[in-house]
Amino acid sequence: MSELQQEPTAVQGEGRWLLGDPIADDRAPDSPVGDRWSDRKFSARLVNPANRRKMTAIIVGTGLAGGAAAATLGEAGYHVKSFCFQDSPRRAHSIAAQGGINAAKNYRNDGDSVHRLFYDTVKGGDFRSRESNVHRLAEVSLNIIDQCVAQGVPFAREYSGLLDTRSFGGTQVSRTFYARGQTGQQLLIGAYSALERQIAAGTVEMHPRTEMLDLIVADGRARGIVTRSILTGKIETHLADVVVLCTGGYGNVYYLSTNAKGSNVTAAWRAHKRGALFANPCYTQIHPTCIPVSGEYQSKLTLMSESLRNDGRVWVPKERGDNRPPNQIPEEERDYYLERQYPSFGNLVPRDIASRAAKNMCDAEQGVGPGGLGVYLDFKDAIGRLGRHAVEAKYGNLFEMYQRITGDDPYEVPMRIYPAIHYTMGGLWVDYDLRSTIPGLFVGGEANFSDHGANRLGASALMQGLADGYFVLPTTVPNYLADGPFDPIDESHPAVVEAVESTKGRIDKLLSANGNRTVDSFHRELGQLIWDQCGMARSKEGLEKALDRLPSLREEFWRDVKIVGTGDGFNQSLEKAGRVADFLELGELMCTDALHREESCGGHFRVEHQTEDGEAQRDDENFSYVAAWEYGGDQSGAKPILHKEDLEFSYVHPSQRSYK
């Protein structure tokens, strides 16, 4: 691809990137959107059951997408090797999702349908996602619920014994299935138990506490991975016929995020450096209902399910710098700003709108709590209307969690919330088959960019992870394997040797720096920079500032980082250092992407592009495309190469999102 690069126009980015060939998805059938998935399933080639055992699939990550894919491919009879850095596949970060999972079951008879879920998701994504993929997601949502119920996932039920649903931000139907505030955990335990069943059956070989550090691309195909054992530090190679990355998102680039501390971009970033395009890295989602930062030492942010906005009312004092305790501020001196600005959706506007509105209130010095970085989420009316008991039944565990962390009782005092990074819509570019641009490398779940456009709707992440894992990858991966058998390769293949050597070289370099700063101090600095310049609101000036600072920060990191201990054994600082090194590179690509996208859409808000009343202003004429970035190379000053995938909207016509 890189032969046809051309210099970008000066206006676009002042030489910070190059423009490459356009790219397109050639896998979605040409049929009407509703038929594409069944057509694709039919046209996908199959592998004879007797041959499946001989095919090895590597699946990295054991969250909803990876766990489900490993279990399902194992059930089908493939030889699966599954990897996770956690001590057990059950601890993948999908476990922390609270709110629920969408499915177009229409059990409520409230006008829901596959088409409506499709429509809502494309619209919610601010018209920056691919229609074919989203429609498939909506179709498959039906099967997911069936599958999970059969596995014993204890979804909430009504007295009839039938499944309960609730509504979620960005939609007007009640299609979210939930398991108290622990839907992610329950779904993950379902996938995990299916995976453990296959491990017992011998079809899946599990490698916990094993981190993927590089991708092996041999003779043009992804053929394996280089791993480091977190226990022994041993660098190993695992070879296979296909590699699937389900390694989650990169929200931890911000240091403070709602992601687990271990969540990282390394696997995806290594694949990117080996040739996979990285799409829309600037699309990051800020979740409006998190517990605000309490001090310098803060190590992560805790999200509370957005479902709280169903019954909680968001407000700030009308007067700037009003320091009175919330219960002493009379009704008429409160600004229920979401209800005021968005009368039809009120407190249930999509996440990006709710987040930005909170930021605007805090910027206007109406924020509450330490540093004025917070707004109230008040349940007084809900408790009055439904009774404390009903509120407790719905949100009891969230309230407990809030009280545990802050020491305040939300039954008595309104919660304080503030937005935090929660999800990253961007990720490795994939086609309809979830193939990356490297043959034999598939990407599922949050690690790919495919379904959420510029903004993800609530309760859609679990849906996408399981759709990819249970249903899409098990169809498309065999289609690829049907091309096999591929030439056998072994450890002596030059590509394997090179990948192992470069991995070892990186580790040695990190250990030998022996500087003066801890990994976390670099990570905090990076996080603050990205949050300030590429967070809730972005500007050309700020992004350029970040882009100027990042190379020097990266250079300082490699020169001045201090890691105690050695590489051959359990060394948590070394693990972190490798991940932060990759975040430092990714951060630069995020800022470049954000700088190049001269519009506001979804989670990407450019202050230069807003309507008169401060709403995001999309530019469909110039930016209705996926920005898929090619790695520019290791040499200093190398520029990433932009490949555009034009988005076509034949079924959902782009309109300015309006939640008023």
Partner 1 sequence: MRITLRVWRQKNADAKGKMEKYKLDDVDEDMSFLEMLDVLNEKLILQGEDPVSFDHDCREGICGSCAMVINGTPHGPQKNTTTCQLHMRHFKDGDTIDVEPWRARAFPVIKDLVTDRSAFDQIIQAGGYVSVNTGSAPEAHATPVDKVSADDAFDAATCIGCGACVAACPNGSSMLFTAAKVTHLGLLPQGQPERQTRAISMLAKQDELDFGGCTNVGACAEVCPKGIPLASISRLNHDVLGATLAGARAD
Catalytic center residues:
351
Q: C-beta of 332: minimal distance to partner 1 in Å?
A: 33
Alpha carbon distance 524, 546 (integer Å):
14
> Near partner 1 by CB under 8 A, which window of 2-10, 140-148, 220-228, 338-346?
140-148
Q: C-beta of 192: minimal distance to partner 1 in Å?
A: 8
| 467 or 601: CB nearest partner 1 | 467
Alpha carbon distance 80, 604 (integer Å):
38
CB atoms within 10 A of CB 283: 31
Please tell me whether residue 474 binds partner 1 under the rule CB under 8 A: yes
CA 514 to chain centre: 33
Residues 179 and 501: beta-carbon distance below 8 Å: no
| 93 or 334: CB nearest partner 1 | 93
Please tell me whether residue 487 binds partner 1 under the rule CB under 8 A: no
Tokens of 658: 């309006």
| 186 or 227: CB nearest partner 1 | 186
Q: Is 142 helix (H, G, I), strand (E, B) or coil?
A: helix
Please tell me whether residue 559 binds partner 1 under the rule CB under 8 A: no
Alpha carbon distance 422, 433 (integer Å):
26
Distances (CA, A) of 406 to 239, 380, 402, 413: 48, 18, 6, 11
Q: Which of 121, 143, 117, 141 is nearest to 130 (CA)?
A: 121
Q: C-beta of 575: minimal distance to partner 1 in Å?
A: 10
CB atoms within 10 A of CB 144: 26
Please tell me whether residue 223 binds partner 1 under the rule CB under 8 A: no
Please tell me whether residue 400 binds partner 1 under the rule CB under 8 A: yes
Among the residues of 325-387, which ranges form H helices?
337-341, 351-363, 380-386
> Near partner 1 by CB under 8 A, which window of 177-185, 496-504, 543-551, 590-598?
177-185
Alpha carbon distance 608, 502 (integer Å):
42
Distances (CA, A) of 311 to 165, 334, 415, 568: 15, 17, 13, 52
Site map (CB under 8 A) of partner 1, residues 179-198, x = contact: xx-x-xxx--x--xxx-xx-
The b-or-e profile of 224-249 (16+ CB within 10 A means b, else e) is: bbbbbbbeebebebbbbbbbbbbbbb
Q: Is 50 helix (H, G, I), strand (E, B) or coil?
A: helix
Using CB under 8 A, which residues numbered 62 to 121 contact partner 1?
68, 71-72, 75, 86-91, 93, 95-96, 105, 107
Alpha carbon distance 179, 459 (integer Å):
12
| 96 or 373: CB nearest partner 1 | 96
Residues 601 and 125: beta-carbon distance below 8 Å: no
| 400 or 598: CB nearest partner 1 | 400
Scan for tokens 């050597």, then name that residue.
Answer: 501
> Near partner 1 by CB under 8 A, which window of 114-122, 358-366, 396-404, 619-627?
396-404
Q: Is 235 helix (H, G, I), strand (E, B) or coil?
A: strand
| 212 or 454: CB nearest partner 1 | 212
Q: Which of 9, 48, 109, 160 touches partner 1 (CB under 8 A)?
A: 160
Site map (CB under 8 A) of partner 1, residues 519-538, x = contact: -xx-----------------
Q: Which of 1, 24, 44, 163 touches partner 1 (CB under 8 A)?
A: 163
Alpha carbon distance 523, 528 (integer Å):
9
Q: C-beta of 487: minimal distance to partner 1 in Å?
A: 31
| 50 or 150: CB nearest partner 1 | 150
Q: Which of 337, 395, 470, 531 touches partner 1 (CB under 8 A)?
A: 470
Please tell me whether residue 43 binds partner 1 under the rule CB under 8 A: no
Please tell me whether residue 471 binds partner 1 under the rule CB under 8 A: yes
Please tell me whether residue 229 binds partner 1 under the rule CB under 8 A: no
Q: Which of 45, 234, 261, 509 touches partner 1 (CB under 8 A)?
A: 261
Q: C-beta of 260: minimal distance to partner 1 in Å?
A: 4
Q: C-beta of 97: minimal distance to partner 1 in Å?
A: 9
Q: C-beta of 27: minimal distance to partner 1 in Å?
A: 21
Tokens of 590: 């995020």
Q: Which of 15, 32, 152, 614 touches partner 1 (CB under 8 A)?
A: 152
| 404 or 653: CB nearest partner 1 | 404
Q: How many residues bind partner 1 (CB under 8 A)?
A: 84
- Residue 127 φ/ψ region, left for φ over 0, alpha for ψ in the -120 to 50 degree band, beta for the rest: left
Q: Which of 4, 364, 405, 607 touches partner 1 (CB under 8 A)?
A: 405
CA angle 497, 503, 509 (to 5 degrees): 130
| 134 or 189: CB nearest partner 1 | 189
Which 8-state DSSP code applies to residue 471? Answer: I
Please tell me whether residue 202 binds partner 1 under the rule CB under 8 A: no
Query: H or E segment at 505?
Result: helix 494-513
End-to-end CA distance of the chain: 44
Q: C-beta of 461: minimal distance to partner 1 in Å?
A: 15
Q: Which of 20, 208, 535, 578 touches partner 1 (CB under 8 A)?
A: 208
Alpha carbon distance 408, 417 (integer Å):
12
Residues 459 and 176: beta-carbon distance below 8 Å: yes
Residues contacting residue 354 through CB under 8 Å, at least 6 positions apart: 169, 288, 289, 309, 314, 338, 347, 419
Please tell me whether residue 373 binds partner 1 under the rule CB under 8 A: no
Please tell me whether residue 154 binds partner 1 under the rule CB under 8 A: yes
Q: C-beta of 234: minimal distance to partner 1 in Å?
A: 14
Please tell me whether residue 518 binds partner 1 under the rule CB under 8 A: yes
Residues 538 and 359: beta-carbon distance below 8 Å: no
Please tell me whether residue 231 binds partner 1 under the rule CB under 8 A: yes
Please tell me whether residue 562 binds partner 1 under the rule CB under 8 A: yes
| 12 or 475: CB nearest partner 1 | 475
Using CB under 8 A, which residues numbered 630 to 649 contact partner 1?
none
Please tell me whether residue 42 binds partner 1 under the rule CB under 8 A: no
Q: Which of 563, 578, 560 is nearest to 516 (CA)?
A: 560
Alpha carbon distance 195, 71 (integer Å):
4
Using CB under 8 A, which residues numbered 286 to 315 contact partner 1?
294-295, 297-300, 302-303
| 86 or 624: CB nearest partner 1 | 86
Give the CB-side neighbour count of residue 363, counting CA atoms within 13 A.
8
